[in-house]
Structure 1
Amino acid sequence: MWLTITDDGRNFINRNNNLGVATISILFDGFSLEEIQVQIHAYRRLINNLERFSSTIMTLANENVSKKETAALPSLNGKTDSELQKNTKGSFLTY
């Protein structure tokens, strides 16, 4: 596959080439070097966890199906996930 950047794309990149540095400066302003190093360590751990996340969750879901555990889940009073989310004020964590 061969991709090229259009003239508009090149103009956009040239016009906004300072955004990366500005974004990092704004996000990490006020953090000490030690705090940034702690964040880097935490992010690396999260990335390592994400690398096995999907396969682990799929294995668990398949085990649930084979064990028929889904029938033993607590009642949601007949409400779907969508209905439950509508009753929250934007602070519902979903996946």
Structure 2
Amino acid sequence: MAGGLREAITTADVVITDGPGLHVEALASYRVTARLLDLAPPGVQFAPCPPFVRGREVSAGAIEHPGFVGYEFKRHLKSVQQAVMALGLQR
């Protein structure tokens, strides 16, 4: 497990990931797991950026973790993206 990630998560209220793209192998040590999320403070919210791949940037255990809010996060993401686009079009 990457040392910097392990240290950072111990004070994180929210953990957000993005897909590793072509660097999946190089970033494997940064995969978010349930064990890693257990190091976070109580109430941590884990929101992998969709589309996420189980077993690639997030483990299956992380998706099952009580802090996982990924599906709820995704439900609201489209509205946020539309608001940002509308604001950009007004300028």
Return the TM-score normalized by structure 1: 0.29
Task: Give the strand-richer structure, 1 or 2.
Answer: 2
- The structure whose residues are more often helix, as a share, is 1
The structure having more radius of gyration, on CA atoms, is 1
